[in-house]
Amino acid sequence: MSPSGPVKPQRISPLELAIFLLVLGVFSHSSYQLFTDFRSVKTQVLTLNSSSPGSGTRTAASPSTDGADRTTASASTGSNDFSQFELNCDSVQPLKAAPGTTRFRLTGGFCGTAGEQAAAPKEVAVRNTTNRIPASVYIDSTHSRFTTDFVPLNPGENTVEVDFKYPGRSDVNKRITVVRDR
């Protein structure tokens, strides 16, 4: 069925045209910047993990300390401004960071699981209370281990709190001291 009478052409309002041109301009500018501004792109060399999955040589929570056996998509910055420490649940000795260290990584097993069925905690919280910076914690419940990202250190003594929150029982708290040279 054909419409009765001639079809009127649609008119566009000046406000709709202005909005359309503004959006088109923003889109065009973003596209131009995306394809032409390479100064802000920083490249890094990525190395592949030399160990095969399931070989048992490395786990997600046991990064290498020398940088020779890096995990997939990890970048080497060429500097050694961090220290890595293994948490000993029974030790109260301060941990001494290497000279020039500004950050540290903490790895270890779950505290408070001795003599029990090692159930993974529902949360592991690590925080440098000296500078009030929390760490991101990655839990490997398969191997009953955890690791953190790099946590900044202040010069001198840094108090680090590690809290293990277990479901259905009391929390386990561990306080350690990490010493950075001044």
Domains belonging to the chain, first-starting first, are 65-180 (2.60.40)
The pTM of the full predicted model, rounded to 2 decimals, is 0.54
* Tokens 């097993």 sit on residue: 109
- For residues 105 and 63, the answer to whether their CB atoms sit within 8 Å is yes
CB 181 within 8 A of CB 130: no
Can you list the alpha helix ranges (DSSP code H) found in the chain?
Answer: 14-36
Give the whole-number percent of the chain exceeding pLDDT 70. 71
> Which of 111, 105, 99, 146 has the alpha carbon at shortest distance from 128?
105
5 secondary structure, DSSP code: S
| Separation between Cα atoms, residue 63 and residue 69, nearest integer Å | 8
pLDDT in tens, 98-123: 888 899 999 998 887 665 555 778 89
Amino acid residing at 141: S
Mean per-residue pLDDT, 71-97: 74
15-24, 61-70, 126-135, 154-163: range with lowest mean pLDDT: 61-70
